[in-house]
Amino acid sequence: MEAMQGLHRPVLFSAFKNSYNRNIIQKGCCPMLHIRDISLRHRLLIANFTMVFVPIFILTVLGFLLVSGLRFSSPHNDLTTLWPEKGPALSIQYTVSSLRVKAERPGPLRLKDLREDCQVLESLGIATAIIRHDQVAYVTPGVDFYGLANRVLEKAHGQQTIMTWDGDGFFFRYSSPHSGTTIIAAGNTPFIAKSGIREGMAKNVIQGLLIFIVGTASVIIIACGLILSRLLSRQILGPLAALRTAAAEIEKGNLDYKLTVSSRDELGQTCSAFDRMRRQLRAARTAQEKYEQNRKELIAGISHDLSTPLTLLKGYASGILVGIAKTAEKRHHYMELIYQNACSLEKLVDRLFLFSKLDLGQVDFTLERVSLRDYFADFTAENTALLAERGLSLRYEAPPEAARVRIDRMQFQRVVDNLLENALKYKETETVAMDIRLEAAEKQVVLSFADHGPGVPRADLAKLFDSFYRTDEARTDVKKGSGLGLAIVKQIIATLKGRIYAAETPGGGLTVVITLPAAEEDSHEIDSNH
């Protein structure tokens, strides 16, 4: 016990020392220790201590009690209970037990069955007798019944049931209260007479076995506890260390550090969730960096596109002020140019304002369920002739499907107008053709605008929907727009939960493809602000 106490103190003191001191500092003179304040390593240590040493303590106490019982109780009776005897001892004990069972049987006495067991005892030198309702039913031949009964009664000391086996021999008496049968037996057969094992040697052997059992069990329990502790520490503390390292890397700004944990337990799930958070943070940072870059490009584009018409306005106004435009006709021409550039500036400012509101989600979208087949049928019927006058040959074949989607009519019309205006601005011939195709699937509607103009280099297709992008690098042709048209188109389509991309038209030209989610048949009209 002293050894166990010596182990107990340093383990517990080392486990609680840090937490106890921390509580003293934080809580003052009356600290209260909580299990949650102990580190996970120390909690595992305490759990293993309890799991290993408590069973050892119990085994030690049981072993001590068994050894003490052997030392201070009657040697013969204890040994007959604990020691699997050799020679006649085992046969005698079995036969006596059989006689007791048969004596308890209700009904008529089955003397034949009892005599078989009596003969076994007689062969081992033990005389027997059977009494039924105070009548002698059987006695070993040649044995004085009264002498046998007196020997057994002397050992019984008034007890109805006895079984003693010592140096004087074997003595047995059993009286059944149910059947009225009494069996007595006595013989000079000494205990373990034929086994060759002395009484003191038997005790020593049993004590040695008990010590061996307790010692072996203790070693096994300690080994299992240490192995289990090592496994638990590796399975728990390992992922925690990896999680701590990943958190430190993220704190440094390294969002590319990948946390890999193979386990599928709670710690593995926690690490997986932490890594998903890391990926989301990285995506958010990338998006923020891209957003900031777009903002810088937007400011640069605004500055450039505003400076060109402002420079022209300043030049024309200066020409009028300094007298370059001397004639009324020339002054009128200058005034027309000033007006045109002012209109261009107004259009640019309006687009900038719309682009900014779309980017901030401040444009109201009133969604309604619309059949694009009927929408473009009406649109082409009204505008084909007007567009042809401007040099755009519009072609549309109505599909059999209704192709129903949910759109804001005004904002969707802005999308169509910007795509058509873009084809007109960049045409190199007098007339350019555009095909509008519509395909309806179960969950989406695909709309394509394919012109047969000059097209766009393949490397520039992904940039078409960026703000202030134009194919002319000089960016001096104000008539070709501000570079915001397709960027506004992209924002509107995104608000409608659709996708847009550009591709090459077979045979030359540019194709803009728009994919919108199909409207369900039972859907209701809703108003939403974006």
What are the structural domain ranges in the chain?
A: 39-85+199-254, 86-194, 255-362, 363-529
Pairing of strands 510-517, 444-451: antiparallel
- Give the mean model confidence (pLDDT) for residues 370-376: 92
Is residue 335's pLDDT more than 70? yes
pLDDT of residue 70: 57
Considering 29-33, 189-193, 217-221, 415-419, the range whose residues carry the highest mean pLDDT is 415-419
Tell which wins on pLDDT, 343 or 445: 445
The candidate with the shortest Cα–Cα distance to 89, out of 167, 164, 189, 168, is 189
Length of the chain: 530
Which burial class, exposed, middle or buried, applies to 315 when counting CB atoms under 10 A from its CB (0-12, 13-18, 19+)?
middle
| CATH architecture assignment, domain 363-529 | 2-Layer Sandwich (3.30)
At 500, is the pLDDT very low, low, confident or very high (cuts 50, 70, 90)?
Answer: very high
At 74, is the pLDDT very low, low, confident or very high (cuts 50, 70, 90)?
Answer: very low
- Give the mean model confidence (pLDDT) for residues 365-372: 90
pLDDT of residue 5: 41
pLDDT of residue 165: 79
Is residue 19's pLDDT more than 50? no
Is residue 514's pLDDT more than 90? yes
Q: Which of 140-144, 184-188, 388-392, 524-528 comes out lowest in average pLDDT?
A: 524-528
pLDDT of residue 448: 92
- Written out in words, the top-level CATH class of the domain with range 255-362 is mainly alpha
Q: Which of 185-194, 197-206, 443-452 comes out lowest in average pLDDT?
A: 197-206
Is residue 15's pLDDT more than 50? no
- Give the mean model confidence (pLDDT) for residues 342-354: 78
Per-residue pLDDT tens for 383-399?
999 999 999 999 998 88
Domain covering 86-194 assigned CATH 3.40.50 in the classification: no
Is residue 141's pLDDT more than 70? yes
Q: What percent of the chain has pLDDT over 70?
A: 77
At 203, is the pLDDT very low, low, confident or very high (cuts 50, 70, 90)?
Answer: low
Is residue 48's pLDDT more than 90? no
Give the angle subtended at the CA of 268 by the CAs of 265 and 271, to the nearest 5°: 150
Q: What is the pLDDT of the chain when averaged over all its residues?
A: 76
Residue 526, helix vs strand vs coil: coil
Is residue 57's pLDDT more than 60? yes
The candidate with the shortest Cα–Cα distance to 419, out of 500, 362, 365, is 500
Ramachandran assignment for 2, one of left (phi > 0), alpha (psi -120 to 50 degrees), beta (any other): alpha
Q: What are phi and psi of 171, to 5 degrees?
A: -135, 135
pLDDT of residue 516: 93
Q: Which contacts qualify for 44-49: CB closer than 8 Å, 24 or more apart? A: 44/229, 44/232, 44/233, 44/236, 45/11, 45/15, 45/229, 46/11, 46/12, 46/15, 48/225, 48/228, 48/229, 48/232, 49/8, 49/11, 49/12
- Amino acid of residue 106: P
Question: What is the token pair recorded at 33?
Answer: 């220790």
The candidate with the shortest Cα–Cα distance to 470, out of 407, 426, 416, is 426
Give the angle subtended at the CA of 290 by the CAs of 288 and 292, to the nearest 5°: 70
- Give the mean model confidence (pLDDT) for residues 475-493: 69
Are 496 and 406 in contact, with CB atoms under 8 Å apart? yes
Q: Which of 16-30, 205-219, 306-320, 362-376 comes out lowest in average pLDDT?
A: 16-30
Question: What is the token pair recorded at 55?
Answer: 């069973």
The CA radius of gyration of the chain, in Å to the nearest whole number, is 53
At 358, is the pLDDT very low, low, confident or very high (cuts 50, 70, 90)?
Answer: confident
CA distances to 24, 313, 317, 476 from 342, rounded to whole Å, are: 76, 8, 12, 16
The candidate with the shortest Cα–Cα distance to 164, out of 185, 148, 146, is 185
At 81, is the pLDDT very low, low, confident or very high (cuts 50, 70, 90)?
Answer: very low
The candidate with the shortest Cα–Cα distance to 72, out of 171, 207, 181, is 207
Q: How far apart are alpha carbons 121 and 88 in whole angstroms? A: 10
At 46, is the pLDDT very low, low, confident or very high (cuts 50, 70, 90)?
Answer: confident
Is residue 481's pLDDT more than 60? no
Question: What is the token pair recorded at 403?
Answer: 């192709």
Question: What is the token pair recorded at 107?
Answer: 């009904």
Q: How far apart are alpha carbons 139 and 154 in whole angstroms? A: 19
Is residue 114's pLDDT more than 50? yes
Tell which wins on pLDDT, 4 or 179: 179
Q: What are phi and psi of 450, to 5 degrees?
A: -115, 110
